[in-house]
């Protein structure tokens, strides 16, 4: 393994992914910021990292497109020499009751959240350097089972199902695979469409009596991707302040 560790963070331009990218960079990790559409936001993340003395590049691409994901890894290898940590923070969420969910929205969520995560995990399994780490994302709503989240949690439950299987398939390479499942976290994705009363209600659910912050989640991801967290493997980490 090279002296500089290298991470790919998909969904790295906003929210939790952005916090993960900047946190890893602050720990000396070179970061490839994967993003889907917001070039301006991705550029801001890279500028923030480089201004602080870190190393980062931004690469656009659809995580459900295996060619685009291959190009993401190609860029990481070209710029920094290899890949040690892969964090798939990209995701899509549409809320609706089962009765009213538009099936086009269901297909779009599953394309990003299941196929996309699988494509990223597959490329990571093929190309990650020995001793590395893969961190996927689920949601604590898989356990909380809030109404209107059925389509979204169905897509995230698939990620939980594959986590330990992939960890076992990578036996012999000293690579860990874990899934972080945040609870209610103050991101644009979570806050969009919710009124103040709903947000306040959710914030009071955990014993710690607040919403999570992106940095709370990023700290856990950074631990799982580090040598200090390497004995944690094949696990679903409910990162939610004790809500469930």
Q: Point out the catalytic residue in the list 61, 152, 184, 220.
A: 152
Q: For residue 176, how many C-alpha atoms fall within 13 Å in the half-sphere facing its CB?
A: 23
- 3-state SS class at 219: helix
Task: Judge whether 152 counts as a catalytic residue.
Answer: yes
pLDDT band for 2, please (50, 70, 90 cuts).
very low
**112-171: pLDDT as tens digits:** 999 999 999 999 999 999 999 999 999 999 999 999 999 999 999 999 999 999 999 999
Residues making up the chain, counted from first to last:
244
Asked whether residue 66 carries a pLDDT value surpassing 80, the answer given is: yes
pLDDT value for 1: 40
pLDDT band for 244, please (50, 70, 90 cuts).
low
Domain architecture of the chain: domains with CATH: 6-239 (3.40.50.720)
């Amino acid at each position: 393994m090279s002296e500089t560790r290298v991470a790919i963070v998909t969904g790295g331009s906003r929210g939790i992914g952005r916090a993960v990218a900047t946190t890893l960079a602050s720990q000396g990790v070179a970061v490839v910021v994967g993003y889907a559409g917001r070039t301006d936001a991705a550029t801001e993340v890279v500028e923030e990292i480089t201004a602080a003395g870190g190393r980062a590049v931004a690469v656009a691409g659809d995580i459900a497109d295996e060619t685009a994901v291959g190009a993401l890894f190609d860029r990481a290898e070209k710029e920094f020499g290899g890949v040690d940590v892969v964090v798939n923070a990209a995701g899509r969420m549409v809320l609706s009751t089962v009765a009213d969910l538009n099936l086009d929205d269901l297909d779009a969520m599953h394309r990003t959240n299941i196929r996309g995560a699988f494509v990223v995990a597959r490329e990571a399994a093929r190309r990650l350097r020995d001793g590395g780490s893969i961190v996927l994302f689920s949601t604590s709503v898989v356990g909380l089972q809030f109404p209107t989240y059925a389509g979204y949690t169905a897509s995230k439950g698939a990620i939980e199902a594959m986590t330990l299987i992939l960890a076992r398939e990578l036996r012999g390479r000293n690579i860990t695979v874990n899934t972080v499942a945040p609870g209610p976290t103050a991101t644009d994705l979570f806050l969009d469409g919710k009124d103040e009363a709903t947000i306040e209600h959710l914030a009071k659910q955990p014993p710690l009596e607040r919403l999570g912050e992106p940095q709370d989640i990023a700290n856990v991801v950074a631990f799982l991707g580090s040598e200090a967290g390497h004995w944690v493997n094949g696990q679903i980490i409910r990162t939610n302040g004790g809500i469930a």
